A and B are shown apart, each in its own frame.
Chain A
Amino acid sequence: MTDEVERLRGELDLLNRKLAEAHKMASLGRLSAGIVHEINTPIGSIFSNTEVITRSLDKTKALLQQALETGSAPPQKAIDILNIVSSLNDVDKLACERIAGVVRSLKTLARVSSHEVRNTDVNELVCHTLKLTKTVFRQRVEFVQETEGVLEAECYPGLLGQVILNLVVNAAQAIDGEGRVTVRTRELGDSVHIDVSDTGKGIRPEDRPKIFQAGFSTKPIGEGTGIGLALSREIIVDTHRGSIGYDSEPGVGTTFHVKIPTQQQKKGE
């Protein structure tokens, strides 16, 4: 009987993780339009620059050839063109770094390493999450990461990353017009605290008892699945033995408080 319960618990655990994984991919998919835009801009520059550099080199070559044939000094125009090439080279470097940064963030958040506990830099997870979320909301929402440096905790990084992503996207979606989303992390005793605050519309008192229930959503169809917070609660409370709660004031904003132990207990402890 005990074995059967243990087996069913294991199966349920596996299904929950698969659901969490699917939800994470859906969340990242919703950011795809912003990510595409974020990558398209540097790609546009690189495409253009490559062509301009080719044209520039042809022109420079012709100018230098002409100077050589007439025995005159290299013309100023050739130097001007080489200066343009040099500035485009700098832009290309920045553009490549930007694309690489987005890809790095995507790789970090999309990795399928949900099944193992690892020592993880929570601040790095926050940084990657904000970088991707910013691609969608940057025109109207300012994203602030208050804590820099390394903040390590033993956790399931894929799952914790998903919780942070859920909370940050929810926070941005709660803001009508312009506003700010702030993520603050800190270590207190043997716990890591992650607070996600927004200057949005707040949670209505009548919605508060239901927000952690699966299937409940206040978002328009297509924007929310209604399982983000239910999954987040499960990941934090059941999987990491932590806690999740919030303070909210209508018209002022909401802060979600997540707390997980810095060390995870071994199975059976």
Chain B
Amino acid sequence: MSPALVLGASFAYLALLFGIAGWAERRARGRRSVIASGWVYALSMAVYCTAWTYFGSVGRAASGGVWFLPIYLGPTLAMLLAWVVVRKMIRIARRQRITSIADFVASRYGKSPLLAGAVTLITVVGIVPYIALQLKAIATGFAVMTASGAGVGAALVHGPGAWWADGTFYAALLLAGFTMVFGTRQLDGTERHEGLVAAIAFESLVKLLAFLAVGAFVTWGLFGGPGDLFARAAAVPELRALLTLGSDRFGYAQWLALTLLAMLSVLFLPRQFQVIVVENVAERHLRRAAWVFPLYLLAINLFVLPIALGGLLHFGPGQADPEAFVLSLPLAAGAQTLALAAFIGGLSAATGMVIVEAIAVSTMVCNDLVMPALLRLRRFRARSGGDLTRALLAIRRAAILALLLLGYAYYHVAGEAYALVSIGLISFAAVAQFAPAALLGLYWKGGTLRGALAGLLAGAALWAWTLLLPSIAKSGWIDDGFVREGPFGLAWLKPEALFGLQGLDPLTHALFWSLLVNVGLFVALSLARAPSAREAAQAALFVDIDIDAEVDATAGAAAGGAGAPAFWRGRALLSDLQPLMRRFLGAERADALLAEHARRVGVASVQDLRADAALVQFVETQLAGAIGSASARTVVASAVQEEPLALDDVMRILDEATQLRAYSRALEAQRAELQRAGAELRAANEQLQGLDRLKDDFMSSVTHELRTPLTSIRALAEMMADDPAMNVAQRQQFVAIIVAETERLSRLVGQVLDLAKIESGHAEWHDEAVDLEALVRRAAAAMEAPLREQGTDLRLELQPGLPPLRADADRLLQVLTNLLGNAARFVPRPGGVIRVQLRAEPAGATVRVQDNGPGVPESERARIFVRFQQGAGAALRPGGTGLGLAICRRIVEHLGGRIAVGDADDGQGACFEFTVPWRAAQEGTSP
């Protein structure tokens, strides 16, 4: 493929990134942020996947099988705890305007400039190989893409030539320029970059899609699917070994070491800290990103093994560079477009990492290495005037350029000797040194500056001795005699077998020693002396931060820590503090921030602000956003008259803050309690209202039911009174109706009284032996005549020989009569069928009354047992009082049984079923 085409595509892609960043920033200014989402947040975290993942994983898989995976399982482990640990880090960083990992560690241990500088130095040294890795990947990729057609597969990259003729050098310069434009356009107090995050998220999408496309192409295009691919690989003994762990005695130790290493790196690599903690828009986004990010890692690793095996099968082992399989496989198969897309994906992975890493590290270098040095110079002293924001930007730009040139230099020197993955692991091991101070510092208040500093320096020294120097020596740049025989022939100091410890691979060996000494010194020195006042103050702010308290969703709103304890004593003047803010933040921003602070504390104008501890704290926090907390501390200390903070003061301030917090928590609890009580009252009120409504309904139903028969009785009686000449037959008929209506009236009144008696518990209950079968027959006999009259067929299916029940016979008869009467009302006339079944069950005697009427719909089944709540169809069927079923239910329940309604056996009609328990049946007298 022609170099012009590849270069053109690359430039077009970088231009597109610019466009996206610009678009995102315009949207942000219009308050329609594109990055305020858990999905974009997760994609920006995927800047973790660099050229190492894109090219290096395949190379690793081609030689070690599944050993590429721990690097991605580690971050998954970290994300399992993200909601616990990372959220705390985010909250602390926001509260204290922390903008880098160096700042984070230094802040925890009393805002020590020394510690911040140490962390920064270790980062720069540790991260340079990692940047070199990206440059190497771009160079290799470019070489593979532009190699002449015949040698595509065999395009092993030759070493770089002189630097001025090396395209990689210019690529480094280009990336530096690109990063400057992205990251240092303005100085933001929170170091957040809306456009950058949007561009990085887009890059993550591009590299994932490109890699998946290549994976699918290899698996289904070059081979007949995964089954075919793996079957062919399993047929080759060398490849079969790649499909298992193939470990020796120490294999699993290395597996664990790699997993833990990656777990720490995903939190403490400068770029990861930048995207996860500094660029976080709202804490709640972490809820989604914590599982989407591991899912992204899983997806991008899905095809690593297939591509590696596919490349080995296609080219033959040792015939081509496995780290370039992603490009060389599509090229060899003639899929030019796909190869170009794959190259763009790789470019995405590399540039994304370089840009974010360089921005993060340049912030650290500026704030924690250059600023402390400048602040020692007279003309940078806090009391002198002048706006420093432009100088700050210039320092950052220079730092970015320097970092990329260092990366290029490392690539030039050592880049050829090592695989991508090995280079990256060196950097991982470096940043892992921050873990003890940072993680233990989050949960243990006893850690001190001396402990952190000693642990960090010793760990870093061991890392350099056991990992970095050997890597340089192996590249032939320095004599590797000390690696083979030990310095001055001292074998016990051999970098890769320290104190004679053998058997571990170099990485696990280095990690073990450096972290052991790091943690050991940290704990030992911390315990040797109690924390100073300032250390204790910062420890309290870190460890005791209330992780469950509500926070403002928008970034920065909580910064400045209204309500946070102010650890400061002394005298300050507003006329000292205001110029200080203007110098480092620019006049406009400084005045706006002060005005907002004035509004928050409730004074009319900035000039009325009292220069108290809270204001000093506010100014220091705002400055920390621009120049780091350690430098901000130095600057503020030089501008105001401070009194040294005593441990007692810290304890007193903490006490006050704790009391305040306890007080507000108590208020909160009280409010919640009130709310709950209110809800209960509301519910009780609703229930009472419901009961009241029911009573009204009951009254109106009763009066309605009473009035109907009364009306007809009165009408007939009046007719007879008015017409004395009425013939006897007519009179007889009227009297008969009056008698029937009166019966109905007394039945209704009787039922109402009955129900009231049962409900109030005043009913008389007999306890006698009942022969249920006889009872059913009695009820049936009573109903037989009217049923025959309406053409209904009554069938009894009674199980003979049932033992007697202990119950009230009259009440049970009432239930049976009610149920039969109810069924009679609903069966068709003629052609009605009522079946009464009786059988013994373990729980008691069960009676079922089935009819072939319209049945009771599901929605009404609970309702019909409520008094006066008749089923929807009941209005059309005269004769019901609306009390029968309610009485039945009361009686059955009083006897300890259950009554329910369902579908009849044949699905047609209703089936009322009630069960009465045997109770003391065996004690009763036999009939």
A and B found bound together:
no
B residues near A (Cβ < 8 Å) are: none
